[in-house]
Chains A and B, each alone.
Chain A
Amino acid sequence: MERPGGLIRWHKQPLTRTTRAGSCAQTAQTRQTPQTPQTAQTAQTARPHKPEALLLFTSVDDVATRLAETGYLASTAVATTVFLADRLGKPLLVEGPAGVGKTELAKAVAEVADARLVRLQCYEGVDESRALYEWNHAKQLLRITAGRDESWDETRTDIFSEEFLLPRPLLTAIRGSDPKVLLIDETDKADVEVEGLLLEVLSDFQVTVPELGTITAETRPFTVLTSNASRELSEALRRRCLFLHIGFPDEELERRIVRLKVPGLDEELARSVVRVVGALRAMDLRKAPSVAETIDWARTLLALGAGSLDENVVRDSLGVVLKHQEDVLKAAAKLDLDAV
């Protein structure tokens, strides 16, 4: 049984060098045909290995306005950092509490750039074959059985062509020339080994498939990594990224977000909701309510038909904002909810 993975792959490499080089050149040629003359030119400049960044935005204000059009209201920090990530062509590492819109940011950028969103959801045990690429073993077997009369060399070069390659998110984001946004979600959930894999991909935006050669991105995808900080990411990975911490928005921004996401809500009620949530956040709770909870609460109040906040409404709906019983009790005590 031929196993393409593991050690055998490396033994075979010198044997197939000529054929590999041939097929590689071929694929490179076919890939270059749809290219615009401009990108072909940039490929010849001083750093041929560094693919060009997309350059989606012209200024920080441009970022803010265009993100706002998609329904993502960005703070100064977010707008500035997104602009820099685009300009410097560096991946963006976004940290922050759950529910402040880390994943939403990547989606919004993809929408603005009219780019395809490629998402790699990390979890414990995600590995190379889930993140990068995998050979389609079943199809390779079929191909071998179909071509019984062929010589070994013919079959061997054939079954390691792109047709039998199953690209996973990282490879997908690198191949092709259409603009892409690569979202690596919850990076902290993945094992440390995956970080090593990401290092290669994120610093040079290239992937080496031993049988095919090195595949380099033509257009650098706009890359967003998110993390909930359940594990400290390695210093090496952090160094390669621009760091952005999305915290809880200030009162004015949050009010705008609530008004945007819950259009039916009365201005005065939105103000009250945001103020109460702000007070809850200052309370040192186990899980401070984030923007998602604020919006949920605003929707709940709208559904309940509450015209304004009062003791009963707050007490009955506090469970929407706070997710731990002890937090609810503490908040109720601090807000004097029982002093009716």
Chain B
Amino acid sequence: MNAPSTGVPEQAGVPDRAGVPERAEAPDQAGVPERLTALVQALRSHGIRIGTGETVDAGQALEALGLDDRERIREGLAAALLHGEGQRPVFDPVFDLYFPRGVGAPDLLDGSVSGSGPEREFDRDDLRDRLAAALAADDQALLARLAAEAVDALGGYGTRPGSGSGSGGSDGWSSHQTLSRLRPETLLARILAGIRQGTAEGEFTDRLTADEIRRRIENFRGQVGAEARRRVAERRGADVIARRAVATTADRVDFLVAGRAQLDELRRTVQPLARKLATRLAARRRRAARGHIDLRRTLRGSLSTGGIPMRPVLRRRRPARPDLVLLCDVSGSVAGFANFTMLLVQALHDQFSKVRVFAFVNRVDEVTDLIARGTADPEGLGSRIISGAAVTGYHGSSDYGTSLGEFAERYAEAVTPRSTVFVLGDARTNMSDPNLPALRTIASRARKLYWLNPENRAQWQTGDSAAGTYAEFVDMYECRNARQLSALIGRLLPI
């Protein structure tokens, strides 16, 4: 549960020779209140809103819990400071920096390794053996110790690389370097063989073992990342690392720069998000239903009271559900954004009478069926669209003008006065004709047309982007992350 998010960019340990003070064992021996406020500051810099009241609560929590048990402090502070589970992936690494497991090299932490010293010959194979055993046994405490040891021995770089136990030898520690030297993922086969040897043949649960070991290795990679951050933070101060090296929450990551792990995490939020949006839509429908006064019927009713309108009659909404048409650019640059949005709209499909989804790169094809079937296997959606639908012509770069023209021509019947059209894409046309008339044709036929652009507004109309040109004719919204998307969808979707 508290596994730190993996794949965190380890950009912290950039050697900085401009006179980092030599802080050996205790980086900042600040008091607990200072540490707490620094933690709160760091969390705020990641967009978690924490008021003074909550900080005071956290202080009281620390007082009540004491400082003996680190995991309890972690849970206690999380309870007082956080407001949602989505903030946890940010909180955990930041907490690890301000309330570190220990100070300095691992030998000093627990004193379990004897005979250590700068000249100690490091045995990588021995570490790998011990790691394999620990992974097989799923011994969390031992794994944490091994992660510390690995970072200490393999992760150091800079002017004095290698293990300088306790004296802060290296300029920095890199989790990437540690992992590429240790390569824990290659241990899988060995661990599996070891486990299979020990147990009887043909147990049903044997087939789960490989995945379990994979998860444990992934977990170990996270531990190495956390350990590297801790060591670097001792050199460069927790504040810097907390701001730079901790990934922000998935719903704030820009679609265009999101890594695979973050897109995976986003995909898992599709269903809950869809449920939330459905509730929001239902609330909007309810409010809209008791909206406008029907003047004709009010006046008609007022005849019985001598022309004085005593009882206002409200307009009844016809309970018709609107259509939705999605026109998505699925070319490489914006595919992550398009896939997420398609899945989200598909999850919302029961809110609409009809949802049709079209994908394009430089040709348009309907992918509604692919997506409806795709809910069972969302990971492969992108590749299935590329392979299963005719979205590219002679070349593979996106061409908005041609695609819009083709859509207006071939799928004219898809857009009716009851349908709302969403165009998703960055409007980078590779210098080809933006074909504004086609977009205007579609917009005039639809009830409403919105354009969601995953690029920063500042970059519109730069380079080969035709965003500004299009934005003159349609409502274009900046939609850089999942948070913005859900806000926009909740507001813009027709009811």
Contact = CB atoms under 8 A, between A and B. Distances in A.
Interface of A: 60, 76-77, 80-81, 83-85, 87-88, 90, 95-96, 229-232, 235, 238-239, 242-245, 247-248, 250, 271-272, 275-276, 278-279, 282, 284, 286, 308-311, 314, 326, 329-330, 335-336
B272 A229 contact: yes
13 contacts: A60-B72, A84-B61, A229-B276, A231-B280, A232-B276, A239-B51, A239-B83, A279-B208, A279-B212, A284-B267, A308-B204, A329-B376, A336-B207
Given A276-B208, A326-B375, A239 B76 contact: no
A50 B364 CA distance: 65
B205 A309 contact: yes
Given A238-B83, A279-B211, 4 more contacts: A60-B72, A88-B57, A242-B57, A244-B79
B60 A330 contact: no
A76 B276 contact: no
A271 B205 CA distance: 9
Interface of B: 1, 49, 51, 53-54, 57, 60-61, 64-65, 69, 71-72, 75-76, 78-80, 82-85, 88, 203-205, 207-208, 211-212, 215, 267-268, 271-272, 275-276, 279-280, 375-379
Nearest to A310: B204
Contacts of B271: 286
Contact of A284 (B78, B83, B268): B268
Contact of A275 (B57, B212, B280): B212
A282 B1 CA distance: 12
B163 to A, nearest CB: 33
Contact of B57 (A90, A96, A282, A284): A90
A243 B84 contact: yes
Contact of B64 (A83, A96, A286, A330): A83
B54 A239 contact: yes
B271 to A, nearest CB: 7
Counting chain A CB atoms within 10 Å of each CB, which of B204, B207, B267 scores highest?
B204
B283 to A, nearest CB: 8
Contact of B279 (A230, A271, A311, A326): A230
Contacts of A239: 51, 53-54, 83
Contact of A242 (B65, B71, B80): B80
Contact of B88 (A235, A245, A282): A245
Contacts of A242: 57, 79-80
A84 B83 contact: no
B79 A84 contact: yes
A328 B204 CA distance: 17
A336 B267 CA distance: 25
Given A77-B75, A230-B279, A239-B54, A245 B208 contact: no
A95 B204 contact: no
A76 B71 contact: yes
Contacts of B54: 239
Contacts of A96: 85
A276 B82 CA distance: 32
Nearest to B282: A124
Contacts of A243: 78-80, 82-84
Contact of B79 (A80, A229, A326, A336): A80
Counting chain A CB atoms within 10 Å of each CB, which of B69, B76, B203, B268 scores highest?
B76
Q: Lowest 5 A-B CB distances belong to which pairs? A: A80-B75, A238-B83, A245-B85, A77-B75, A81-B79
B376 A326 contact: yes
B275 A230 contact: yes
Nearest to A312: B204
B64 A84 contact: yes
Given A229-B272, A243-B78, A95 B85 contact: yes
B270 to A, nearest CB: 10
Contacts of B88: 245
Contacts of B78: 77, 243
A77 B75 CA distance: 5
A175 B268 CA distance: 44
Nearest to A188: B279
B274 to A, nearest CB: 11
Nearest to B208: A279
A209 B208 CA distance: 60
Contacts of B379: 284
Contacts of A80: 65, 72, 75-76, 79
Given A90-B57, A276-B205, A76 B75 contact: yes
